Amino acid sequence: MAVKNKERMCCVCRTRADVGGMIRVARERDGNGFRYFIDKEGNANGRGAYICKGCVGKAVKTRALNRSFKTNVGDNIYLAIQDESLYN
């Protein structure tokens, strides 16, 4: 079951909001590096970053996840959060 009634800070606007309205991007080990993915259940292990849905466009433009994870997370994850915000 997804985590409910918890607040997390959006990594773009730094506002706290209920995780239910946010997209969580998590990372997991993948060989020698990391793989980034959208954590729909909100309970994947490891480091995660939250983006409120209103900030997705800005996150893509400013590559906000690269700052949060201090690395280049790759274009795929930005496409994924855009899709997530449009269709979910």
Contact residues for Zn ion (CB under 5 A)?
10, 12-13, 52, 55
Q: Encoding tokens for residue 39?
A: 């954590």
Nearer to Zn ion by Cβ, of 22 and 73: the residue is: 22
Q: What residues does 16 pair with on adjacent strands?
A: 9
Phi, then psi, of 41 in degrees rounded to 5? -80, -20
Cβ proximity to Zn ion, 40 vs 58, nearer residue:
58
Q: Given the complex with Zn ion, which of 17 and 73 has the nearer CB atom?
A: 17
Q: Which residues pair with 37 in a beta bridge?
A: 26
In angstroms, give the least distance from the CB of 9 to Zn ion.
Answer: 9
